[in-house]
Chains A and B, each alone.
Chain A
Amino acid sequence: EAGVAQSPRYKIIEKRQSVAFWCNPISGHATLYWYQQILGQGPKLLIQFQNNGVVDDSQLPKDRFSAERLKGVDSTLKIQPAKLEDSAVYLCASSPGSGNTEAFFGQGTRLTVV
């Protein structure tokens, strides 16, 4: 079974530029998550989708971050404009459904804002 796919693996941008990350979850997984992992810390949930609807975006900085999952499969996370403190690894994860179940993570996209 293929895992969660993310691209790009690495991205370097200047502050105030925009950037987008892409995630393809495990086939058939209804729930998709985006996490932000700053160096030396644990992942922090940004947004959770159930199919194409948002379940939780309470920790998403909505003034600059946006995410969508239009057809309930792939998802994109966008940052516009980026700040230095957005430098982190952005992890996508998916799980079969809602409730207490294991989430499967992709390798992440390492973003460096200079």
Chain B
Amino acid sequence: GESVGLHLPTLSVQEGDNSIINCAYSNSASDYFIWYKQESGKGPQFIIDIRSNMDKRQGQRVTVLLNKTVKHLSLQIAATQPGDSAVYFCAENSGGGADGLTFGKGTHLIIQP
């Protein structure tokens, strides 16, 4: 089964509001996490990453929070814009020699005007 998953398939927010997308993972050996954004007809695009020795990382308008105690990851998008509409995936890497990512099913973020 999936080792990484998202709680909600769809999230609808008002333009200008903050968005929070959640992700749960089950592999306690995971040591690297990435959030990807995927627009229709395109490949996943890197947003932000975080390593297991951190609990928070900030980028431009985005923040990722990692809670290793409950194996939970979240992506916060500030002042959501129409261009943020996409499917968001969290992905994890358990390390070791092979470092292919394990993706969750994704959350579709819908921005309402």
* Binding between chains A and B: yes
Q: Chain A contact residues: over half helix, strand or loop, or mixed? A: loop
Residues of chain A contacted by B101 (CB below 8 angstroms): 43, 45, 103
- Kindly identify which residue among B43, B95, B99, B105 contacts A108, using a CB–CB cutoff of 8 Å: B43
Verify if A91 is at the interface (C-beta below 8 Å from B). Answer: yes
> Considering only CB atoms and an 8 Å cut-off, how many residues of chain B contact the other chain?
27
- Kindly identify which residue among A55, A91, A98, A100 contacts B44, using a CB–CB cutoff of 8 Å: A91
B104 touches A33 (CB 8 A): no
- Kindly identify which residue among A42, A105, A108 contacts B104, using a CB–CB cutoff of 8 Å: A42
CB distance from A51 to the nearest CB of B (A): 14
A98 touches B97 (CB 8 A): yes
> Considering only CB atoms and an 8 Å cut-off, how many residues of chain A contact the other chain?
25
In the bound assembly, the distance between CA atoms of A17 and B102 in angstroms comes to: 29
Interfacial residues of chain B within 81-104, with CB under 8 A of chain A in the complex: 89, 91, 93, 95, 97-104
Verify if A106 is at the interface (C-beta below 8 Å from B). Answer: yes
Interfacial residues of chain B within 54-99, with CB under 8 A of chain A in the complex: 89, 91, 93, 95, 97-99
A100 touches B32 (CB 8 A): yes
Interfacial residues of chain A within 42-67, with CB under 8 A of chain B in the complex: 42-45, 48, 55-56
Q: Which 9 A-B pairs have the closest CB atoms?
A: A42-B103, A105-B43, A100-B32, A56-B98, A45-B100, A48-B100, A105-B44, A55-B98, A102-B46
